[in-house]
Amino acid sequence: MLGAIIGDIVASRFESNMPGSKEFDLFAEGCFATGNCRMILALAKAIMEATKGQTRLGRGEDDDFHARLSGCAVKSVREIGSKYPNCGLGGMFSRWVFGDHHKLCDRFGDGAAIHAAPAGFVATRVWDAERIAETLTEAIHPGEERVKGAKATVAAICMARHGALKSEIRAYVREKYYPLDFRIDAIRSTGRLDEGPQDYVPWAIECFLESTSFEDAVRTAVSLGGGTVAAITGAIAEAYYGVSPDMKDKALGILDEGLRGIYDAWTHFAPADNERFRVLTKYVAKMGVAYPLGKWVVDREDDGAPMYPFHFHFVDHKELAIDFDAEFRQFLKGHPEWEFIERTRHGEILDKDGSKCHADEKRPANLWSLDEQSVLTLMMRAFRAERFSEGASPAFFEDGRLTRWLKRLKDIDWKWQSRKITEIRFEIGGVFDGYTVYRLALGDSGAELTEAELFIESEPFRKEGLSLAEALALRDRFAEIHTEYWNDDYSDPLALDGEQWQLSVRYSGACVLEYYGSNAYPENWNELLDFFGIDRDKKARDVEK
């Protein structure tokens, strides 16, 4: 959500006279928070109000939650709108705020797509985000095209936040919402932004898809036209890249006390992912699932390019574009603290670390003691190997070395954030056999483990109180499963029934990670079953088949 605020503020001083290029000062005199910022924060507040008293966010099928959310949206927008009657949203908005009409006139609300952005940051599944966005948009400024724009926006945000590749986001938007059959440079001089989400939403999504960093995404959007475009692009880009502390401080310094209060409350309700290497570490799960199905190749179709992206080919000849090489180099360029790695003698960096670890070693014994600088250096050496020996680099993907290096970066990020597990909830079963839910609540004095039938209001048939020592041991045991390496979705699109499962892990600081599956499982699935004491003969699956 911060990315949307930044995009809105950066574009504010240009109004309808966009700069036309990406060369301009981001935060300059004349920047301010427009009405879009206020509406985004108002609907964030509505989500928080509607969720009070719930341990989990209302799911897409929770009609009571959505009815409550609709009422909270109207109340929150009117409350904040009354404090800022001249916020730039027009006279019709002011009349609605102080009038008796439940919904705004259909002619209002061309910023509807970005107003619903908080849904993309709080939902754990795309279809939940889309349903929340639909409820918020219908409550405030209805209209088929606006609902479509809001759903496309939050879907892209949610996917980016949960580790989707740009190619996956593009494919999803194309299939459900917009064709995205253009490129930004082609429309920059000839395109015209009409007043409607049918134009500005796909333009904003494309600005993100063609970007190389958060800042590049915002600059591209502002140069193209419109504060709403910049806000949408900024929201998706934040979810994908993250935002630097410097840009965060500058943007939040522009908000007044009331708006800042809402933002601060939101950060406690839906904490931002502060992992420094998430642009890279999202590939851990992608590579773990993909590799057994095909092989890595180097795509040299564009011989003039300074880098050669790696693509993954499935055995059925469908291609999953994993351009890790390109994204890795973009990451270095966007982070000055690491960019020197591309220009430095790599042996000097590794020797200074004391690792004596080189890229051609299959399993360095001291991998888990390496710092981030050494891990990034090993990656750079792996990609450079292709320059000297054609076909050398794919070996680093195929034998798992790159995956292990990425896992090390993930571990560094997690240790830095000091997350502590407070609750683990695991649901497993099927439509015909019923569902069983296992819940482990971990406190400072001990833990409680329960097992019960889902959807049945009765006492659990298993309930154990555990000592503090037992609770700490369980925390450590669960940490060894490393669910943070997993994909968030293991659904088999070809299976309509069978076994379904859901794992929710709650951490201190209100952070929640959720994983889902339908007849498909992560590679260390049996370790999770063992953790809850589930009978292997009944539930275990051979994930290699």
Q: Express each pLDDT in 447-506 by its tens digit.
A: 999 998 877 766 777 788 899 999 999 999 999 999 989 988 887 766 667 788 999 999
Task: Please name the residue that has the structure tokens 């220009």.
Answer: 343
Are 355 and 450 contained in the same domain? Answer: no
Cα–Cα distance, 236 to 169 (Å, whole number): 10
* Mean pLDDT, residues 130-156 taken together: 92
Task: Read off the pLDDT band of 262 (50, 70, 90).
Answer: very high
Are 406 and 472 contained in the same domain? Answer: no
> Cβ distance 334 to 422 under 8 Å?
no
The arrangement of strands across the sheet holding 310-314 comes to 294-298, 310-314, 319-320
Cα–Cα distance, 280 to 302 (Å, whole number): 23
* Mean pLDDT, residues 366-395 taken together: 78
Most confident listed range (453-457, 507-511, 512-516): 512-516
Helices (H), ranges, 389-435? 394-398, 401-417
Percent of the chain at pLDDT above 70? 75
DSSP code for 457: -
Q: Residue 233: its pLDDT value, please?
A: 96
* Mean pLDDT, residues 145-161 taken together: 94
Are 261 and 337 contained in the same domain? Answer: no
> Cβ distance 527 to 541 under 8 Å?
no
Cα–Cα distance, 187 to 203 (Å, whole number): 9
**Amino acid of residue 29:** E
The answer to the question of residue 55 being in a domain is yes
Residue 75, SS3?
Answer: helix
Of 2, 86, 542, 543, the C-alpha closest to 272 is: 2
Q: Please determine, for residue 361, whether its predicted confidence score (pLDDT) is greater than 70.
A: no
Q: Please determine, for residue 242, whether its predicted confidence score (pLDDT) is greater than 60.
A: yes
Are 174 and 193 contained in the same domain? Answer: yes
Q: Please determine, for residue 291, whether its predicted confidence score (pLDDT) is greater than 50.
A: no
Are 344 and 226 contained in the same domain? Answer: no
Cα–Cα distance, 463 to 448 (Å, whole number): 7
Task: Read off the pLDDT band of 545 (50, 70, 90).
Answer: very low
Residue 521, SS3?
Answer: coil
The answer to the question of residue 183 being in a domain is yes
Q: Residue 478: its pLDDT value, please?
A: 94
Q: Please determine, for residue 321, whether its predicted confidence score (pLDDT) is greater than 60.
A: no
Q: Please determine, for residue 10, whether its predicted confidence score (pLDDT) is greater than 90.
A: yes
Percent of the chain at pLDDT above 90? 36
214: burial class by Cβ within 10 Å (0-12, 13-18, 19+)? Answer: buried
Cα–Cα distance, 454 to 438 (Å, whole number): 9
Q: Residue 93: its pLDDT value, please?
A: 61
Task: Read off the pLDDT band of 232 (50, 70, 90).
Answer: very high
Cα–Cα distance, 513 to 231 (Å, whole number): 26
Are 330 and 409 contained in the same domain? Answer: yes
Are 187 and 230 contained in the same domain? Answer: yes
* Mean pLDDT, residues 398-408 taken together: 86
CATH number assigned to the domain comprising residue 462: 3.30.1560
Which residue range forms the structural domain that includes residue 486?
A: 419-539
Task: Please say which residue of 366, 386, 416 terminates a domain.
Answer: 416
Residue 423, SS3?
Answer: strand
Q: List, for residues 204-220, the tens digit of each pLDDT value.
A: 999 999 999 999 999 99
Are 432 and 393 contained in the same domain? Answer: no
Task: Please say which residue of 366, 394, 416 terminates a domain.
Answer: 416
Helices (H), ranges, 165-226? 166-176, 184-188, 197-209, 214-224
Q: Please determine, for residue 97, whether its predicted confidence score (pLDDT) is greater than 70.
A: no
Q: Residue 64: its pLDDT value, please?
A: 87
**Amino acid of residue 126:** V
> Cβ distance 414 to 292 under 8 Å?
no
Of 227, 274, 241, 288, the C-alpha closest to 13 is: 227
The answer to the question of residue 450 being in a domain is yes
Residues in the chain: 545
Q: Which residue has the higher pLDDT, 67 or 272?
A: 67
455: alpha, beta or left? (left if phi > 0; alpha if psi -120 to 50): left
Are 17 and 48 contained in the same domain? Answer: yes
Lowest-confidence pick of 195-209, 282-296, 398-412: 282-296
The answer to the question of residue 431 being in a domain is yes
The answer to the question of residue 101 being in a domain is yes
Q: Which residue has the higher pLDDT, 386 or 245?
A: 245
Buried residues in 71-86 as b, exposed as e (16+ CB within 10 A):
ebbbebbeebbeebee
Q: List, for residues 172-229, the tens digit of each pLDDT value.
A: 999 999 999 888 888 776 655 555 557 789 999 999 999 999 999 999 999 887 788 9
Residue 250's Cα: distance from chain center in Å? Answer: 23
Q: Please determine, for residue 104, whether its predicted confidence score (pLDDT) is greater than 60.
A: no
DSSP code for 320: E
Lowest-confidence pick of 334-348, 365-379, 409-423, 438-452: 334-348
* Mean pLDDT, residues 12-27 taken together: 79
CATH number assigned to the domain comprising residue 249: 1.10.4080.10
Are 336 and 241 contained in the same domain? Answer: no
Total number of domains in the chain: 3
- The values of phi and psi at residue 383, to 5°, are -70, -35
> Cβ distance 450 to 463 under 8 Å?
yes
Task: Please say which residue of 222, 244, 269 terminates a domain.
Answer: 269
The answer to the question of residue 545 being in a domain is no
Q: Which residue has the higher pLDDT, 420 or 293?
A: 420
Q: Which residue has the higher pLDDT, 292 or 218?
A: 218
Are 234 and 315 contained in the same domain? Answer: no
Q: Please determine, for residue 258, whether its predicted confidence score (pLDDT) is greater than 70.
A: yes
Cα–Cα distance, 119 to 134 (Å, whole number): 10
Q: Residue 544: its pLDDT value, please?
A: 43
The answer to the question of residue 544 being in a domain is no
The answer to the question of residue 448 being in a domain is yes
Are 138 and 194 contained in the same domain? Answer: yes
Mean residue pLDDT across the chain: 80
